[in-house]
Amino acid sequence: MRWFHSSLAVFCLIFCGEVIAATPVKIGLNYPQTGRYQEQGLAQRRAAFMAVDEINASGGILGHPVELIIKNTGSKPDRSERNVSEMIDREDVVAVFGGSSSAVAIAGGKAAKARDRIYFGTLTYSNATTGTEGHSHMFRESYNAWMGAKVLSKYLKANYAGKKYFFITADYTWGWSTEKSIRIFSDTMDKGQHPGVMTPFPTALQKDFAGALEQADKSGAEILVLVLFGDDMVRALEMATNMGIKEKMAVVVPNLTLGMAKAAGPAIMEGVVGAAPWTWEVPYIYNFAKGKEFVEKFSELYGLRPSSSAASAYSILMQYRDAVERAKSFKTSDVIKALENHHYTLLKDEQFWRPFDHQNIQTVYAVRCKNRAAVLADPYNDDYFEIIDSMTGSEAAHTQEEWLADRRAAGKPDKLL
């Protein structure tokens, strides 16, 4: 009888241990399923499911399978904040990632911090995300407007020095910081010489873009900078092409993604210049084995090439897993310490999480869209981008002194809190 009870106790311990180990750990994906940036959101969702399948197939995180909790932001900051609050309060997610609008990521990040959870920004390019609005619980995987503008303006100054610019800019935090960054590095700060106009976000109508493009057409500018993203960029560029503006001006789209290029199509996108933190062509050009593996698996699974949005979501989940396993803990403070100053290679060359601002430091690229024949030569008709320049992350990013100056001007503390 004693043997029976002892055996039963051992069995219960083993059984309970297996049950506990099998308890899912929940991670929140806060992305735009609808709205102007829904294509970028869908790319995040696809890559996130792929990453979760890989993580679970390899044993999960510290023995726990991963479960995604998904909510739609609609690219609205108030909904983002509400989503994050609900995911943490009701579902007890251990971390949240996502966002294709900086205002959405900033709002979600603040809600996560209030509940002691990390928020990883995917496509959030506003300088403010890890700058004036940065805090201890926000980590940005993508580059920011400053980094993109720096590599892009290097190309613009070499090829369009002395030309007149016209800016059409989305009227919110990403648009403001992107336009300002481009102006700084392209020597176009004089708005009298290089004018521009703001368009509403996220409620811009066709008439808003038409009015802005008419002003651009009459301005005599030689360079049209469309500081627009997602569907807004696609609509404006289609209109610019139909109005004959694209024949008169070189077109610059500061932040380009594959989803945007595909939505506009190769004929309209040909010759457009922009910047990107990653494109699916990069691993093949520079021979990054893990990047090629990611591209090929994603392409086979979904029948299309992955965008920078997909790469960001995939990288975040892999980085979170690795940080938890280094920390041997899901505790937020432990994971933050494991992330800070961590160097790694995944889909490209070396990257690292900078400790003073939690910005991911990485190589950035200037790109130009290829002609239709080149695009369609790819088996998935997705070979849109030619790399025309690059810059190391350390060269492209704000220095700590520049970051501190911005923080102090905004009345923010000298370190992340």
Task: Give the CATH number, domain containing residue 94.
Answer: 3.40.50.2300
Torsion of CA 360, 363, 367, 372, to 10 degrees: -90
Question: Each residue of 155-193: pLDDT tens digit?
Answer: 999 999 999 999 999 999 999 999 999 999 999 999 999
pLDDT at site 36: 86
CA 309 vs CA 98, 211, 335, 389: distances in Å: 9, 30, 23, 20
| Residue 318 lies inside a defined structural domain of this protein | yes
Is there a domain that residue 337 lies in? yes
In a domain, 417, yes or no: no
98 & 244 share domain: no
CA distance 378 to 76: 35
Last residue of a domain, one of 362, 379, 412: 362
Domain-embedded: residue 377: yes
Residue ending a domain, choose from 347, 362, 377: 362
Encode the chain in three state secondary structure.
CHHHHHHHHHHHHHHHHHHHHCCCEEEEEEECCCCCCHHHHHHHHHHHHHHHHHHHHCCCECCECEEEEEEECCCCHHHHHHHHHHHHHHHCCCEEEECCCHHHHHHHHHHHHHCCCEEEECCCCCHHHCCCCCCCCEEECCCCHHHHHHHHHHHHHHHCCCCCEEEEEECCHHHHHHHHHHHHHHCCCCCCCCCEEEECCCCCCHHHHHHHHHHHHHHCCCEEEEECCHHHHHHHHHHHHHCCHHHHCEEEEEECCHHHHHHHCHHHHCCCEEEECCCCCHHHHHCCHHHHHHHHHHHHHHCCCCCHHHHHHHHHHHHHHHHHHHHCCCCHHHHHHHHCCCEECCCCCCEEECCCCCEEECCEEEEEECCHHHHHHCCCCCCCEEEEEEECHHHHCCCHHHHHHHHHHCCCCCCCC
Statement to judge: residues 170 and 235 lie in one domain: yes
Could you tell me if 239 and 196 lie in one domain?
Answer: yes
On whether residue 411 sits in a domain, the answer given is no
Amino acid 352: pLDDT: 98
Nearest-10 crossing angle of helices 38-57, 308-327:
40
Q: How many domains does the chain have?
A: 2
Same-domain check for residues 121 and 156: no
Specify whether 223 is located in the same domain as 175. Answer: yes
Predicted pLDDT at 202: 86
Structural domain contains residue 174: yes
> CB within 8 A of 274, min separation 6: which ones?
152, 252, 253, 254, 255, 256, 366, 367
pLDDT at 20: 42
pLDDT confidence of residue 22? 75
* Residue 4, in any domain of the structure: no
Is residue 152 domain-shared with residue 132, that is, in the same domain? no
Looking at residue 5, its pLDDT comes to 47
Both 381 and 242 in one domain: the answer is yes
Q: What was the pLDDT predicted at 385? A: 98
Comparing CA positions, the residue from 173, 214, 210 lying closest to residue 195 is 214
pLDDT (tens digit per residue) in 232-245: 999 999 999 999 99
Q: Is residue 413 part of a domain?
A: no
347/385 same-domain check: no
Cα radius of gyration (the chain): 22
169 and 217 fall within a common domain:
yes
Question: Are residues 204 and 102 both part of a single domain?
Answer: no
Q: For position 130, what pLDDT does the model report? A: 98
Given 336, 362, 388, the domain boundary residue is 362
Query: Mind listing the pLDDT tens digit of every residue in the chain (417 residues)?
Result: 444 444 444 444 444 444 345 799 999 999 999 988 999 999 999 999 999 999 999 999 999 999 999 999 998 999 999 999 999 999 999 999 998 889 999 999 999 999 999 999 998 999 999 999 999 999 999 999 999 999 999 999 999 999 999 999 999 999 999 999 999 999 999 999 999 999 999 889 999 999 999 999 999 999 999 999 999 999 999 999 999 999 999 999 999 999 999 999 999 999 999 999 999 999 999 999 999 999 999 999 999 999 999 999 999 999 999 999 999 999 999 999 999 999 999 999 999 999 999 999 999 999 999 999 999 999 999 999 999 999 999 999 999 999 999 999 999 999 999
Tell whether 96 and 164 lie within a shared domain: no
List the domain range (segments joined by +) for residue 250.
Answer: 146-276+364-396
84-123 residues labelled b (16+ CB within 10 A) or e (exposed): beebbeeeebbbbbbbbbbbbbbbbbbbbbebebbbbbbb
| Residue 245 shares a structural domain with residue 297 | no
